């Protein structure tokens, strides 16, 4: 291979496995990643590769041990803000301290026999020259590494440690490794886990056991409804769902985990109106996709808007979401669900809702991003609901006054006075963003 972007030459040997090989590629260089993926697809036509770019996605979670992978390829030339120059060796040291991590093939910057021998002594499956990869050697190393990895995992699955790691409370969920509790709700528990199937850290939402049969039926129906709604959506600004299953008669959903937390923690740090607009734009685009498949979120708030390492946002928690015009006894007209600070006037009064109710909630978030304050505050939830319907629209001051027309339409008391759709709102926000440049 001449240069990291070149195609690996030569004819690799065929490898037979009982299930597709899974390889983690850690590099910041797209061409190298593509060349490796292409080569691996020749070795294993059904190979599954995951490319992790430290430059855009940051560090691997400290609890991640790569349980879903057979091998890893680590590029010396990866970047890290904490390291001057290439950070591959620092990453290698970190991976070697993760008990149970898959075999690592290191791509070194040059032909340095001393470095290669040192890395093999410290645990590397092999060390190859990055700029001219010997593909036959890579083929042989990966074949051996994958077979040994699967033998090791088979033996480990029989240990008490492996069985204990699959316990979530008193529920055993195979293919997942318990890390810690993230949240506890009335009807479910949420855990941080590593998923074999996802090959990543996940938020594992497990349905609690209800007190009676009727409640259990309702909880299970709502749980399945949430999965059904989100699984229809494929968009970068909507949480990814990896799995739905049953374990010990408990339903669970494995979904994307966000190590940076939610938007609540970021609001105090948003000091630039353009940043606020760009965040609102991402949320509006997410709502556009959600509404296009006939779903209302109905609980849009900063706590349900998550941040990825690359700065992108994603909507989560569709537990209160519903299909347009769907009929559910627990969500009919007259019932109030959601968070009062972010409720539209019609939602707060149990009236029928459409997409414009979610846009109102986004207007509340926009006000909070601009001013670091909620527009309506009262001693009680009912007091807040009253203000949403009856209090004057909040007034922006100083340089923020330029955004008053946009905020007024988002927070209009009557739906017909608001933007007709998330797409229309996104267009208006985009015009403001361009005006600030």
Cite the active site residues: 299
Residue 172 neighbours by CB under 8 Å, 6+ apart: 163, 166, 247, 248
Integer Cα distance of 59 and 266 in angstroms: 20
Residue 279 neighbours by CB under 8 Å, 6+ apart: 263, 270, 313, 369
Supply the angle between the helices 355-371 and 273-292 in degrees, to the nearest 10. 170
- The angle at the Cα of 231, spanning 326 to 204, to the nearest 5 degrees, equals 115
Integer Cα distance of 391 and 372 in angstroms: 19
Residue (of 418, 406, 303) closest to 353 by Cα position: 418
Backbone angles phi, psi at 138, to 5 degrees: -60, -45
On whether the CB atoms of residues 298 and 320 are closer than 8 A, the answer is yes
On whether the CB atoms of residues 198 and 68 are closer than 8 A, the answer is yes
DSSP state of 81: T
394 vs 204, 270, 293, 387, 400, CA distance in Å? 39, 19, 32, 11, 12
| Residue 405: strand, helix, or coil | helix
Integer Cα distance of 411 and 409 in angstroms: 6
DSSP state of 332: S
Burial 140-156 (b: 16+ CB within 10 A, else e): ebbbebbeebeeeeeee
Give the DSSP letter string of 13-43: PP---SS--EEEEE-S-HHHHHHHHHHHHHH
| Long-range contacts from 380-384, C-beta under 8 angstroms, 24+ separation | 381/340, 382/340, 384/340, 384/341, 384/343, 384/348
Number of H helices, E strands in the chain: 13, 16
| Residue 300: strand, helix, or coil | coil
Helical spans, DSSP H, in 316-401: 345-348, 355-371, 381-390
């Amino acid at each position: 291979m001449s240069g990291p972007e070149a195609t690996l030459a030569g004819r690799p040997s065929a490898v037979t496995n009982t299930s597709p090989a899974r390889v983690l590629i850690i590099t910041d260089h797209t061409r190298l990643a593509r060349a490796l993926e292409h080569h691996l697809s020749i070795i294993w036509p059904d190979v599954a590769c995951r490319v992790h770019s430290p430059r855009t996605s940051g560090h691997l979670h400290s609890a991640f041990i790569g349980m879903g992978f057979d091998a890893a390829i680590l590029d010396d030339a990866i970047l890290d803000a904490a390291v001057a120059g290439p950070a591959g060796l620092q990453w290698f040291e970190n991976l070697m301290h993760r008990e149970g991590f898959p075999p690592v093939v290191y791509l070194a910057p040059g032909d340095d026999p001393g470095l290669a021998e040192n890395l093999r002594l410290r645990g590397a499956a092999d060390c190859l020259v990055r700029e001219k990869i010997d593909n036959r050697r890579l083929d042989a190393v990966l074949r051996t590494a994958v077979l040994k990895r699967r033998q090791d995992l088979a033996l480990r699955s029989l240990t008490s440690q492996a069985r204990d790691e699959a316990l979530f409370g008193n529920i055993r969920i195979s293919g997942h490794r318990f890390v810690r509790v993230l949240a506890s709700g009335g009807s479910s528990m949420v855990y941080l886990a590593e998923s074999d199937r996802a090959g990543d850290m996940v938020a594992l939402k497990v349905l609690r056991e209800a007190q009676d049969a009727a409640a259990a039926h309702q909880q299970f129906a709502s749980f399945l409804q949430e999965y059904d709604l989100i699984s229809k959506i494929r968009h970068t600004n909507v949480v990814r769902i990896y799995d739905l299953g049953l374990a010990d008669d408990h339903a669970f959903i494995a979904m994307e985990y966000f190590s940076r937390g939610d938007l609540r923690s970021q609001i105090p740090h948003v000091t630039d109106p353009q940043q606020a607009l760009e965040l609102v734009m991402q949320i509006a685009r997410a709502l556009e996709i959600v509404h296009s498949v006939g779903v209302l979120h109905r609980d849009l708030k900063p706590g349900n808007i998550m941040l990825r390492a690359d700065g992108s946002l994603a909507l989560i928690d569709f537990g209160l979401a519903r299909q347009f015009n769907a009929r559910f006894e627990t969500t009919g007209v007259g019932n109030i669900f959601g968070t009062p600070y972010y409720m539209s006037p019609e939602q707060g009064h149990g009236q029928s809702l459409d997409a414009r109710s979610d846009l109102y909630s986004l207007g509340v978030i926009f006000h909070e991003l601009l001013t670091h304050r909620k527009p309506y505050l009262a001693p009680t939830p009912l007091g807040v609901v009253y203000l949403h319907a009856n209090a004057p629209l909040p007034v922006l001051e100083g340089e923020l006054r330029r955004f008053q027309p946009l905020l007024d339409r988002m927070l209009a008391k009557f739906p017909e006075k608001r933007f007709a759709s998330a797409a229309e709102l996104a267009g208006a926000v985009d015009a403001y963003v361009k005006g600030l440049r």
